[in-house]
Amino acid sequence: MTTTTTQNRLLPRSYMPEEDKVGMTQNAIYLCESADAKKAGDEEASWAWLALAKLPESASYILKEMCGEEFLKAKGFNI
């Protein structure tokens, strides 16, 4: 079985234990999954999880300034 998001995207590889997700919002899970993927050295999964998260406008702006809009689009961000 393949898990998808509400946007019908396939979810990236998970690095977070299921028991750690209990009580967390979906957005918090996406952010923690991104951090855990980064710690595991999986840059692609880290960016993919971050692209699923709803980021504050200020964080989106900083990412866009630092990485560029085309890079973020290529990573799956809705810019």
Q: For the segment 1-31, what is each residue's pLDDT rounded down to a tens digit? A: 346 665 677 899 999 999 999 999 999 999 9
Buried b (16+ CB within 10 A) or exposed e, 51-72: bbbebeeeeeeebeeeeeeeeb
Confidence (pLDDT) at 1 = 39
Considering the chain, what percentage of its residues have pLDDT values greater than 90? 85
Backbone Cα Rg of the chain: 13
pTM for this predicted structure: 0.87
Average pLDDT, the chain: 92
